[in-house]
């Protein structure tokens, strides 16, 4: 079994997402069904596939060959569709008018046969829709239906079929059918991951299984999906039981039949805990997938085995990673048994062509060992540039590792679908919420989201994506000197792009020195422990071949410093500067208080505050960070490190480090922001060399306005400036005890922003009145 080495799961979010049940089935606003090549309408179940002649208005090249196989069938199932085909000798477009934008199924039916000179088994062709390449270099052997879903946003959906060189294409049938928008919902988008979001992705159904039961055909599914039996995918089929209890499914609660039919929820594969030999064995399914792709994996559950609530506790794994430990379905399904629910995971780029899904016992709480799975869907994400999320990076990974463990990138998204919860949330005016997820490590992972009501966005997780050196080389065009965006004591920083299009900043350390190594490790350790929207995220690292490479999210707008002086970047407005200060104060505040231990950054400066494309500030460079004093200590004794001009004099004198040292440095940053000049400028007259001394002299005289950035003159409201000046002054107090906490600083800066905003609004009013 290859399960243990392919993927590693690092992050996940859990969300309770709920849907209102549509009262009487789903009727698709767009519903195009075409039996290509057929001279008559074809009825499959309760659906009518149009004769090809009636569909010619959708096709760009009506002169294509209509073919029919010699054998005829009399059944009313899908095999009828395979009796005829349309052969395309050149590129052809099907154009379907879309009455309601949103997610649509595209189902393509292929079954090659010989017709005149066309041996369809030899046809090689591509199919694309919108800007998604759905099939490329495709040839069909045997009857196959390819199912995709994508969000159609224009008034027409164009499906293009393009034969390869000297070849031709064929199609037996095509469906373009609306699906409920709620079925594929955007989930949690990790800050580091920059996951594009599900709504914009095209999904290809790779596997869709009904666990512990028979095939459920399209006719028994309101959305015409096929569910295959799972038996053939079980790694040890004899160690699992099939549970058929369709009647037990609570059809009035939980996930609707649009998520999966009751026929799917009503059967399960259960671990065989009754047999002593297997009472501690996971049930594992193994699937073939494409290397280098990302997948949406949807787990369907319905507790049809328990006789009372809170009886079944189990764990869910993807390859060797825990997706969920201690899953108790009764708490998810509002304390009722047999309520259907599901959750989603988005996996990282696959590095193996096998994907293993397991469920296993969770007995830490003394529960009886048991585990079930009712249904599973594996959908491949397609990039909009025409490729799948596959690529060079991954093939490189596969090609160069010695079959060893590779930390793959895998971001997880879990959804649970339940109706009741939705109602309750709807009452509160929320459509989604995030709840803490307890992991097997026992730590609580609190996930925030841009969807959540509050402004928080924080994820605590055990990151650590380890990149092979070749992948980093590739991302940076082999450390192209023209891609260098910064140079520091640590080494050079390159911009780069991962194969999935994620833009990154790659910091490559100078050859290993003891000091550099310590900082490298600290940075990984620190950034792996906490995540926050105002802290730069670490995407990964590489320590192969004595390299010390850190890979971060790319910050479009570089350092705060570069926006203040010494470069040609247009100067920032006062409001922008305040917002940047507030953002970085938030990041520091989080460092000081948001984690179980105080984290002291130790190198707060404008060059370590980075700005993203929206000028949102993120604190960077944790190489010098230290865990703060424990409860019984008041400070940490340590050698003085940091940057000249920002150093806390108390720390310098006494070598005693507290979080107030960061507050001091931040005070210096505030002055830099206001005056737009370096903290130490030896080209200036002596009294002006040190920004802090000079600015504090003016502040104490109450004339700070005399030395502000010339581009801000007349643009800062006096109240706002006064508040800001006072805040900086407090931060710069000689003794740490006299300095405010970052929380107070944050509050004061927000107040300074309000004071500034008040004048803008006032001005507007004035303009309107005059
Ligand atoms: C085929 O189906 C279409 C749409 O349902 C209908 O308009 C048409 O009359 C049918 N044609 C035949 C030959 O039954
Ligand atoms: C059609 O092509 C397939 C695959 O190349 C081949 O196995 C088959 O014999 C061909 N059929 C005919 C009738 O030539
Ligand atoms: C297309 O597929 C065939 C066989 O599946 C393979 O030999 C060939 O290299 C592929 N061509 C491209 C351009 O990927
Ligand atoms: C489709 O895309 C549009 C625009 O990107 C988005 O607003 C909408 O929510 C998406 N719909 C679905 C069902 O994903
Ligand atoms: C599926 O639907 C068909 C026709 O509606 C029915 O005969 C069959 O029993 C159903 N299958 C199951 C497993 O219920
Ligand atoms: C079905 O589930 C709902 C909760 O989703 C619960 O309120 C209801 O009592 C359940 N019905 C039965 C028959 O258990
Ligand atoms: C189930 O699989 C996971 C992941 O491979 C593993 O960590 C765990 O120990 C397994 N549990 C049992 C009972 O074998």
- Cα 102 to middle of ligand 4, angstroms: 6
Split at pLDDT 50, 70, 90, the class of 471 is confident
Reference 618, options 570, 661, 583; nearest CA is: 583
User: Is the four-CA dihedral 94, 97, 102, 108 of positive or negative sign?
Assistant: negative
Weakest-pLDDT range from 18-27, 229-238, 533-542, 553-562: 18-27
Split at pLDDT 50, 70, 90, the class of 254 is confident
Distance CA 264, CA 210 (A): 5
- Mean pLDDT confidence for 478-502: 83
- Mean pLDDT confidence for 262-282: 84
Q: Which atom of ligand 4 is nearest to the CA of 198?
A: 14
Instruction: Give residue 128's Cα distance to chain centre.
Output: 25
User: Is the four-CA dihedral 674, 680, 683, 689 of positive or negative sign?
Assistant: positive
Q: Whose CA is nearest to atom 9 of ligand 6?
A: 336
pLDDT of residue 171: 95
- Mean pLDDT confidence for 388-408: 26
8 Å CB contact between 393 and 474: yes
Which one of 33-47, 53-67, 359-373, 388-402 scores highest in mean pLDDT?
33-47
Query: In sequence order, what are the residues at sequence separation of 6 or more whose Cβ sits closer than 8 angstroms to the Cβ of residue 286?
Result: 1, 2, 3, 233, 235, 354, 355, 356
Reference 378, options 347, 333, 419; nearest CA is: 347
pLDDT of residue 592: 86
Q: What are the backbone angles phi and psi of residue 416, rounded to the nearest 5°?
A: -125, 145
Q: Is the pLDDT of residue 558 over 50?
A: yes
8 Å CB contact between 692 and 734: no
Which one of 163-177, 302-316, 547-561 scores highest in mean pLDDT?
163-177
8 Å CB contact between 376 and 297: yes
Weakest-pLDDT range from 168-177, 204-213, 250-259, 623-632: 623-632
Residues within 6 Å of ligand 5 by CB: 219-220, 263
pLDDT of residue 441: 23
| pLDDT tens figures, 223-243 | 999 999 999 999 988 888 899
8 Å CB contact between 377 and 124: no
Distance CA 479, CA 477 (A): 6
The continuous run of DSSP H or E covering 114 comes out as strand 114-115
> Which ligand gives the minimal distance to the CA of 332?
6
Distance CA 109, CA 346 (A): 27
Strands 202-210 and 228-229: parallel
Beta bridge partners of 240: 271
Q: Whose CA is nearest to atom 7 of ligand 7?
A: 320
Split at pLDDT 50, 70, 90, the class of 253 is confident
Split at pLDDT 50, 70, 90, the class of 668 is very high
- Taking only Cα atoms into account, the Rg of the chain, rounded to an integer number of angstroms, comes to 30
List the alpha helices (DSSP H) in 594-736.
Answer: 649-654, 660-675, 691-700, 718-731
Q: Is the pLDDT of residue 333 over 50?
A: yes
Weakest-pLDDT range from 155-164, 376-385, 513-522, 675-684: 513-522
Active site residue 603: yes
Distance CA 262, CA 259 (A): 9
pLDDT of residue 742: 93
Distance CA 454, CA 156 (A): 38
> Which ligand gives the minimal distance to the CA of 141?
2
8 Å CB contact between 544 and 471: no
| pLDDT tens figures, 598-622 | 888 888 999 899 999 889 999 987 7
8 Å CB contact between 614 and 565: no
The continuous run of DSSP H or E covering 271 comes out as strand 267-271
Q: Is the pLDDT of residue 71 over 70?
A: no
Q: Which atom of ligand 5 is nearest to the CA of 217?
A: 1
Neighbours of 220 (CB within 10 A): 16
Q: Does ligand 7 have an atom closer than 6 angstroms to the CB of 325?
A: no
Q: Does ligand 6 have an atom closer than 6 angstroms to the CB of 143?
A: no
Side-chain-facing half-sphere of 490: CA atoms under 13 Å: 24
List the alpha helices (DSSP H) in 193-319.
Answer: 262-265
Q: What are the backbone angles phi and psi of residue 554, rounded to the nearest 5°?
A: -80, 130
8 Å CB contact between 297 and 344: yes
Reference 716, options 668, 686, 662, 752; nearest CA is: 752
Q: Which atom of ligand 4 is nearest to the CA of 186?
A: 14
Query: In sequence order, what are the residues at sequence separation of 6 or more whose Cβ sits closer than 8 angstroms to the Cβ of residue 659?
Result: 592, 598, 600, 628, 741, 742
Q: Is the pLDDT of residue 547 over 60?
A: yes
- Cα 137 to middle of ligand 3, angstroms: 6
| pLDDT tens figures, 501-534 | 778 889 888 765 666 777 777 777 777 666 678 8
Beta bridge partners of 717: none
Side-chain-facing half-sphere of 372: CA atoms under 13 Å: 35
Reference 583, options 673, 708, 652; nearest CA is: 673
8 Å CB contact between 572 and 601: no
Q: Does ligand 6 have an atom closer than 6 angstroms to the CB of 21?
A: no
Share of the chain above pLDDT 70, in %: 76
Distance CA 435, CA 450 (A): 14
- Cα 86 to middle of ligand 1, angstroms: 19
Beta bridge partners of 31: 177
- Binding site for ATP: what residues are annotated? 507
| pLDDT tens figures, 133-156 | 999 999 998 899 999 999 999 999
| Active-site option among 52, 543, 603, 612 | 603
**Summary mean pLDDT of the chain:** 78
- Mean pLDDT confidence for 332-359: 84
User: Is the four-CA dihedral 408, 458, 669, 600 of positive or negative sign?
Assistant: negative
Could you tell which of 121, 123, 167 is best to mutate to test the pocket of ligand 2, judged by most ligand atoms within 8 Å of the CB?
Answer: 121
8 Å CB contact between 371 and 274: no
8 Å CB contact between 203 and 148: yes
Overall size of the chain counted in residues: 770
Between residues 627 and 244, the one the model is more confident about: 244
Split at pLDDT 50, 70, 90, the class of 21 is very low
Q: Is the pLDDT of residue 12 over 80?
A: no
List the alpha helices (DSSP H) in 634-679.
Answer: 649-654, 660-675
Split at pLDDT 50, 70, 90, the class of 420 is very low
Q: Is the pLDDT of residue 434 over 60?
A: no
Beta bridge partners of 690: 680
Weakest-pLDDT range from 354-363, 544-553, 571-580, 661-670: 544-553
pLDDT of residue 642: 67
| pLDDT tens figures, 713-769 | 999 999 999 999 999 999 999 889 999 999 999 999 999 999 988 755 544 443 333
> Which ligand gives the minimal distance to the CA of 122?
2
Beta bridge partners of 127: 135, 161
């Amino acid at each position: 079994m290859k399960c243990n080495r392919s993927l590693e799961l690092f992050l996940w979010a859990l969300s309770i997402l709920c849907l209102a049940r549509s009262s009487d089935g789903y009727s698709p606003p767009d519903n195009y069904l075409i039996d290509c090549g057929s001279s008559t309408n074809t009825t499959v179940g309760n659906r009518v596939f149009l004769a090809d002649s009636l569909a010619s208005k959708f096709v760009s090249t009506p002169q294509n060959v209509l073919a029919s196989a010699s054998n005829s069938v009399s059944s009313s199932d899908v095999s009828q569709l395979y009796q005829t085909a349309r052969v395309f000798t050149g590129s052809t477009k099907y154009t379907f008018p879309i009455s309601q934008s949103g997610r649509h199924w595209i189902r393509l039916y292929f079954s090659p046969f010989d017709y005149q000179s066309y041996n369809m088994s030899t046809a090689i062709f591509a199919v694309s829709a919108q800007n998604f390449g759905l099939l490329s270099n495709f040839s069909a052997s045997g009857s196959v239906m390819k199912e995709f879903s994508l969000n159609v946003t224009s008034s027409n959906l164009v499906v293009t079929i393009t034969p390869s060189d000297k070849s031709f294409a064929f199609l037996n049938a095509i469906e373009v059918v609306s699906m409920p928008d709620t079925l594929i919902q955007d989930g949690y988008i990790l800050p580091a991951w920059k996951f594009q979001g599900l709504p914009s992705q095209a999904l290809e159904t790779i596997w869709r299984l009904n666990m512990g039961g028979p095939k459920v055909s399209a006719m028994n599914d309101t959305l015409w999906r096929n569910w295959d039996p799972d038996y053939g995918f079980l790694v040890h089929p004899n160690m699992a039981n099939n549970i058929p209890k369709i009647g037990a499914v609570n059809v009035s609660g939980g996930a609707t039949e649009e998520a999966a039919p009751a026929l799917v929820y009503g059967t399960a594969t259960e671990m065989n805990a009754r047999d002593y030999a297997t009472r501690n064995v996971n049930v594992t399914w193994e699937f073939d997938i494409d290397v280098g792709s990302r997948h949406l994996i949807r787990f369907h559950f319905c507790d049809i085995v328990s006789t009372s609530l809170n009886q079944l506790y189990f764990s869910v794994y993807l390859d060797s990673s825990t997706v969920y430990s201690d899953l108790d379905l009764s708490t998810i399904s509002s304390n009722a048994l047999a309520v259907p629910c599901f959750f989603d995971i988005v996996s990282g780029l696959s590095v193996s062509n096998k994907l293993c899904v397991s469920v296993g016992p969770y007995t830490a709480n003394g529960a009886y060992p048991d585990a079930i799975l009712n249904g599973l869907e594996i959908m491949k994400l397609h990039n909009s540039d025409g490729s799948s999320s596959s690529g060079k990076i991954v093939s490189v990974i596969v090609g160069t590792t010695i079959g060893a463990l590779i930390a793959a990138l895998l971001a997880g998204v879990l959804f649970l679908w339940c109706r009741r919860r939705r109602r309750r949330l709807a009452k509160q005016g929320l459509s989604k919420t995030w709840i803490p997820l307890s992991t097997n490590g026992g730590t609580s992972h609190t996930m925030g989201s841009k969807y959540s009501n509050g402004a928080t966005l924080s994820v605590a997780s055990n990151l650590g994506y380890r990149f092979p050196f070749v992948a980093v080389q590739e991302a940076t065009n082999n450390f192209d000197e023209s891609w260098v965006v910064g140079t520091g004591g640590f080494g050079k920083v390159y911009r780069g792009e991962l194969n999935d299009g994620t833009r990154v900043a790659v910091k490559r350390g100078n050859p290993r020195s003891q000091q550099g190594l310590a900082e490298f490790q600290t940075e990984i350790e620190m950034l792996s422990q906490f995540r926050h929207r105002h802290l730069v995220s670490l995407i990964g690292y590489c320590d192969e071949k004595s390299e010390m490479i850190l890979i971060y999210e790319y910050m479009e707008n570089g350092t705060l410093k570069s926006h203040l002086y010494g470069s040609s970047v247009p100067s920032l407005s006062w409001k922008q500067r305040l917002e940047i200060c507030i953002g970085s104060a938030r990041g520091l505040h989080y460092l000081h208080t948001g984690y179980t231990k105080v984290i002291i950054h130790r190198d707060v400066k404008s060059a370590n505050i980075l700005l993203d494309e929206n000028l949102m500030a993120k604190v960077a460079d944790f190489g010098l960070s230290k865990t703060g004093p424990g409860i019984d200590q008041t400070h940490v004794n340590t050698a003085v490190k940091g940057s000249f001009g920002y150093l806390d004099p108390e720390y310098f004198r006494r070598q005693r480090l507290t979080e107030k040292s960061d507050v001091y440095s931040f005070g210096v940053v505030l002055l830099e922001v206001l005056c737009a000049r370096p903290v130490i400028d030896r080209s200036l007259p002596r009294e002006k060399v040190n920004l802090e001394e000079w600015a504090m002299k003016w502040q104490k005289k109450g004339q700070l306005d005399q030395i502000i950035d010339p581009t801000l003159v007349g643009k800062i409201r006096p109240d706002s400036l006064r508040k800001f000046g006072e805040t900086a002054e407090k931060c710069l107090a000689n003794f740490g005890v006299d300095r405010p906490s970052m929380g107070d600083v944050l509050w004061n800066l927000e107040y300074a922003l309000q004071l500034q905003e008040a004048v803008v609004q006032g001005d507007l009013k004035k303009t309107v009145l005059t």
